[in-house]
Amino acid sequence: MSRMGRVRAETSAGWRSFVRRRTAVFFTFFFPVILIVIFGALVRTDPAGGGLFTEPPAYYVPGYLAVVVLFTPLSRMGSEVARHREGSRFEKLATTPLTRAEWLLAQTAVNAAIIGLASLLILGLVILLTGANIAFSPLLVPYVLVGVVCFCGIGAMLGSYTDSQDGAVAASNGIGLPLLFLSETFVSPELLPGWFGPLVNLSPLTYFARGVRAATYSGAETAAVAGVDPALANLGILAVLAVLAFALGARSIPQTD
């Protein structure tokens, strides 16, 4: 079987396993929906006021997308790796022609399909509930895909270095939540202390947020990077980080437990 055939077999098994866990499917889509309802429809943005949510609704689109682009891979990959470890599945797979990178690629494909659907739902709801004025740039597609690759790699590392499903989920929450709010998603840089700026630059999600905002929000003031259009430059940076995270994630997957 070719590499494509192996990845297809693994992707098919991963997809079926996911859609048959109804609770997981429900909450994968419910989580971003409830967040949009709370922040977008109940709290609402207030451009004239102070504090959080003072930007126009379109500013927060990268944040809402980040809920699934960040959290879903972190928690799904973390628990999937832990589940595989507990069932000696990696030990089995290590004796087949499937490589660790192929396994991670297949799981990334499953996540990309789930997150692609969730992203469409989020964009629809954001427009419907908040009246956000969004430019539908084709760059949204590579941003979501590259973001999923990046965070699947990080999720695989979390699952590999924690010792249980519980541990993986706790770790993904512990890392995901700060990243979600401190990566120029919901909290604009002006609201953070000056010394925090360099730390924001360490988060891969920052480049996702900057790039998506530059591509979809006409009022974005995202700076160009070395003279390159910010929508493309941030995609490039995110892609480099994604390749690194994917390679490290694949390498971290254990063979025995």
Partner 1 sequence: MEAVVDATDLEKVYGETVALSGASLSVAQGEVFALIGPNGAGKTTLVRALTGTVEPEGGTAAILGASPAAVDRDRLGVLPQEFSPPARLSARELLAYYAGLYEDPRDPADVLADVGLADAGDTWYENLSGGQQRRVCVGSALVNDPDLLFLDEPTTGIDPAGRRTVWRLIEDLAASGTTVVLTTHDMAEAEHLADRVGLLADGSLVAQGPPDDLVREYGGSSRLTVETTADPDAFADLEYPVERPARGRDRTPEAAVVVREIDPAAIGSVVDYLEARGIEYTGLSWAEPDLEDVYLALAEPAERERTARLEGERGDGAADESDLARTGETA
Q: Which residues bind partner 1 (CB under 8 A)?
A: 1, 5-6, 8-10, 12-13, 16-17, 20-21, 86-89, 91-98, 255-256
User: Which CB, 44 or 92, lies closer to partner 1?
Assistant: 92
User: Which CB, 88 or 218, lies closer to partner 1?
Assistant: 88
CB of 95: closest distance to partner 1 in angstroms?
4
Please say whether the beta carbons of 210 and 202 come within 8 A: no
Q: Is the dihedral of CA 31, 35, 36, 41 positive or negative?
A: positive
Task: Say which DSSP state 223 is in.
Answer: P
Residue 133 is which amino acid? N
User: Which CB, 97 or 219, lies closer to partner 1?
Assistant: 97
How many other C-beta atoms can be found within 10 angstroms of the C-beta atom of residue 117?
13
48: region left, alpha or beta (phi > 0 left; psi from -120 to 50 alpha): alpha
CB of 257: closest distance to partner 1 in angstroms?
8
Which tokens belong to 99? 């490589």
CB of 61: closest distance to partner 1 in angstroms?
34
CB of 93: closest distance to partner 1 in angstroms?
8
Alpha carbons 151 and 154: distance in angstroms, whole number: 5
Which tokens belong to 195? 């010394």
User: Which CB, 56 or 254, lies closer to partner 1?
Assistant: 254
Alpha carbons 155 and 10: distance in angstroms, whole number: 18
User: Which CB, 16 or 44, lies closer to partner 1?
Assistant: 16
Residue 29 is which amino acid? F
Alpha carbons 61 and 186: distance in angstroms, whole number: 9
CB of 80: closest distance to partner 1 in angstroms?
10
User: Which CB, 101 or 175, lies closer to partner 1?
Assistant: 101
User: Which CB, 10 or 184, lies closer to partner 1?
Assistant: 10
CB of 145: closest distance to partner 1 in angstroms?
24
Please say whether the beta carbons of 186 and 70 come within 8 A: no
Picking from 214, 204, 216, 213, the residue whose alpha carbon sits closest to that of residue 186 is 213
CB of 108: closest distance to partner 1 in angstroms?
17
